[in-house]
Structure 1
Amino acid sequence: MDTRKIAVVASVAAVALALSGCNAGNAEGPKSSPSTAAVNSSATPSGSATSSVGETHKYQPASATGPARNVPVPKMSAAAKKNSEEGATAFAEYYFEVINYVIQTNDGEPLKKSTTRQCEVCGKSLIDPAGRAQISGKWQVGGEHSYQVIDSYKSSNNKAVVTVRFEVAAANFYIKPNELESRKDKRPSKTAAIGMEYDSGWKVYIIDIETPSK
């Protein structure tokens, strides 16, 4: 096994502590544009006044006055469905798009479908907080992840490791319009080793995040 593969395996094996502060994230050479996917009509609040059908389904980003509306649901590409190194890379990119979707909507269902129960930190740091925010009515402005895949390889027939550099934008949190509840500053660039397994499709089973040494 070459040095690159050893380093990535060691990163995933290290697991531990790192995802405890992650509720969203950003990166060098970032990809942060929303997926050009079908609109999630369930995200539209009932009773919203609009001037036309087109306006009713138009994406509206979150602001201090209210949560995002009509957020496009990320679509998984055909490449991300393949059991290959390239497929694992495409799936990791899709996974980050889903994280950004969850940040805007507090709808954790798409993330659940792409994550195994084995990934405890995924639940504690991403899925569970979204569920609690849904109940409380809390929303956030900002906090999206930008990211860049920097390495990937298949460790076995049905497992792969993808290394991603990412960072998380600053975010403001609200429960009532124009009343700031809390704030998180922009978080520095970090590297995440994402372990995934394939069984009729890729799923994330572990995420290990390391802070680059200064």
Structure 2
Amino acid sequence: MNAETPDFIRATRTAYDTIADAYTEQFSDWAGIPLLDRVQINGFAELVREQGTGPVADVGSGPGHVTARLSALGLQVFGVDVSPRMVELARRAHPSLRFHVGSMTSLDLPAETLNGITALYSIIHVPDDHLPRAFAEFHRVLKPGAHALIGFQYEPGGGHLHLTERFGQEISLDYHWRTPDEVAEHLTEAGLQVIVRVLRETLNEEKYARAFLVARKPAQESVAGT
């Protein structure tokens, strides 16, 4: 980790390294994802397949279970996560898939190489002043005409939460609850067209509502913007 790594990435990395084993034990089952959320992921995979072949990045891949599902649905997918321990556990659980350590604010990928991006419950740890950079990176690495699926928890008025403990472990981790309109505005400002918005209320013991946005990089764009 170099000296230029933002503080929030350092904190998020340390927190998830600390809780990775307990988190994976509780949240690594595809069947454990609510059906309404699985429908969004499955539908996105079909959308990506219709656009053609090419690599897809699951950004904030965690235990790797969504990455594995996308692979089973026929996508050429790899996982990216800020936590080395999460990456280690994902590789162990899914040895046939590729996972590497990285941040959505600085993707180690060439421009216009991805056929799709999923970022499920990972932008919630990115502060407001860094979110434009993350979405600019999504725009940079997506092929013209390719799509991104952004999933996140939200509160109607937005909000912020700082946790100092999770799974019985001491951590320092920030959560940013943005409204769907706020996230859509950031995507639009990054040059991505929001074409789908799906909102759902809380289920069972959930504390926060969920939103799924599908954004598309305009087909006529190129690296030079012509």
**Shorter chain as normaliser: what TM range?**
under 0.3
TM-score with structure 2 length normalisation?
Answer: 0.26
Between Structure 1 and Structure 2, which shows a larger proportion of helix residues? 2
Q: RCO (CA 8 Å, sep 6+): is it higher in 1 or 2?
A: 1
Task: Name the larger-Rg structure.
Answer: 1
TM-score with structure 1 length normalisation?
Answer: 0.27
